[in-house]
Structure 1
Amino acid sequence: MTTPTSLASQPGPPRRPRIALYGHDTQGLGHLRRNLVLAGAFASDLPEGLGADVLLLTGASEVGMFPRPHGVDAVVLPGVRKDERGRYSPRHLRGRLADVVAFRSAMIDTALEGFDPDLVVVDKTPWGFRRELATTLARLKARGTRTVLGLRDVLDDVPTTRRQWQADDSDQAIRTLYDEVWVYGDPEVHDLRVTTGMAEDVAGRTHHVGYLAADRMDDEERAHRPATEGRDYVLVMVGGGQDGAQLARAAAAMTPPPGLDLIILTGPQLAENEVRRVRRVAGNRPRVQVMRFSRHGAAWLTGARAAITMGGANTVAEILDTDVPALVVPRVTPRAEQLVRAEALARWGYLSFLRPQAATTAALDAWVREAVTTRSDRTALDRGGVAAATKRARSLLESRADPVGAPQSPAPPARFARSPHVA
Structure 2
Amino acid sequence: MMRRFEDARILMYSHDTFGLGHLRRCRTIAHSLVEDYRGLNILIISGATIAGAFDYRARVDFVKIPSVIKLRNGEYTSLEKHIDLHETLKMRQSIIRHTAETFEPDIFIVDKEPMGLRGEVEETLAYLKTRGTTLVLGLREVMDAPHLLDAEWKRNDVMRKIGQYYDRIWVYGPPDFYDPLVGLDVPPAVRSKMDFVGFLQRSVSHDHGDDHRPSGDYILVTTGGGGDGAELIHDVIHAYQQDPTLTHRALMVLGPYMPAKQRRKLVRKGSKIPYIEVIEFDNRMEELIAGAKAVVAMGGYNTYCEILSFDKPALIVPRIVPRQEQLIRAQRAAELGLIDMLLPEESADPLRFAAALKALPSRNPPSVNAKGLRLEGLPNISRIVGDWIDGRGGKEPLRVIKR
Fold equivalence (TM over 0.5):
yes
- State the partner residue of 1:370: 359
Alpha-carbon shift at residue 282 of structure 1 (Å): 1.3
SS of residue matched to 2:50: helix
Pairwise CA distance, 1:163: 2.3
Match status 1:28 vs 2:19: yes
Q: Does 1:345 align with 2:333?
A: yes
Distance 1:24 1:318, change over 3 A: same
Relative to structure 1, the CA distance from residue 245 to residue 216 in structure 2 (aligned partners, 3 Å threshold; closer, same or farther) is same
The question of whether the paired residues in 1 share the 8 Å contact of 2:30 and 2:42 is answered with yes
Q: Does 1:124 align with 2:102?
A: no
Equivalent position of 2:150 in the other structure:
162
- Matching residue within 195, 198, 204 for 2:186: 198
TM-score, length-normalised on structure 1? 0.86
Deviation of the 1:189 alpha carbon: 1.5
Which amino acid letter does the alignment assign opposite residue 244 of structure 1? G
**Structure 2 match to 1:321:** 309
Q: In the TM superposition, what is the alpha-carbon distance from 1:51 to its structure 2 partner?
A: 4.0
Distance 1:319 1:59, change over 3 A: same
2:364 partner letter: R
Query: Counterpart in 1 of 2:375?
Result: 383
- Please report how far the alpha carbon of residue 162 of structure 1 lies from its aligned counterpart in structure 2 after TM superposition: 2.3
Identity of aligned residues (%): 32
CA distance in structure 2 between the aligned counterparts of 1:70 and 1:410, rounded to whole angstroms: 27
Pick the aligned partner of 1:247 from 217, 222, 232: 232
Q: Distance in 1 between matches of 2:157 and 2:233?
A: 38
SS for the counterpart of 1:368 is helix
Quick check: 1:276 aligned with 2:269?
no
Partner of 1:357, secondary structure, is helix
Moved more, 134-143 or 92-101: 92-101
CA–CA distance in structure 2, aligned partners of residues 297 and 209 of structure 1: 24
In structure 2, stretches of 5+ residues that fail to align are none
Match of 1:294 in 2: 282
Q: Which secondary structure does the structure 2 equivalent of 1:263 belong to?
A: strand
Answer whether contact 2:313 2:366 (CA < 8 A) is retained.
no
Q: Conserved in 2, the CA contact under 8 Å of 1:186 and 1:211? A: yes
Alignment correspondent of 1:226: 213
Residues in 2 aligned to 1:226 and 1:147: alpha-carbon distance in whole angstroms: 39
Q: Which residue of 1 aligns with 2:41?
A: 53
Of residues 342, 366, 388, the one that matches 1:396 is: 388
CA spacing shift, 1:409–1:66, aligned 2, 3 Å: closer
* In structure 2, distance between residues paired with 1:383 and 1:399: 27
1:108-127 alpha-carbon deviations (Å, 9 max, x no partner): 11111111111110011111
Contact 1:184 1:208 in 2 (8 A): yes
8 A Cα contact 1:248 1:266, kept in partner = yes
User: CA offset at residue 161 of structure 1?
Assistant: 2.1
Query: Could you tell me whether the CA contact under 8 Å between 1:201 and 1:409 is conserved in 2?
Result: no
CA gap of 1:397–1:77, structure 2 versus 1, over 3 A, is same
- TM-score, normalised to structure 2, is 0.90
Letter in 2 for 1:377: P
Displacement after TM superposition at 1:32 (Å): 0.7
- Maintained 8 Å contact 1:234/1:263: yes
Corresponding residue for residue 108 of structure 1: 96
Instruction: Classify the secondary structure of the residue corresponding to 2:329.
Output: helix
Structure 1 equivalent of residue 296 of structure 2: 308
Residue 41 (structure 1) aligns with: 32
CA distance in 2 between counterparts of 1:72 and 1:35 reads 11
Task: Note the alpha carbon deviations across 1:235-289, whole angstroms, 9 max, x for none.
Answer: 1000111011111122234449787421000001111211111122213444321
Shift of 1:30: 0.8
Structure 1's 79 and 257: CA in aligned 2 closer, same or farther, altered over 3 A?
farther
How has the CA–CA distance of structure 1 residues 327 and 51 changed in structure 2, closer, same or farther, with 3 Å as cutoff? Answer: farther
1:263 aligns with 2:251: yes
How many residue pairs get aligned? The number is 392
**1:14–1:35 Cα change, 3 Å:** closer
How far is 1:322 from its partner? 2.3
SS at match of 2:12: strand
SS in structure 2 at match of 1:207: strand
Shift in Å at residue 351 of structure 1?
0.7
Q: Structure 1 residues 14 and 262, CA, compared in 2 at 3 Å: closer, same or farther?
A: closer
Cα distance in 1 between the residues matched to 2:285 and 2:397? 39
What are structure 1's unaligned runs of at least 5 residues?
Answer: 1-12, 416-423
Shift of 1:370: 1.1
How far the C-alpha of 1:292 sits from its partner, in A, is 0.4
C-alpha contact (below 8 Å) 1:145/1:400 kept by paired residues? no
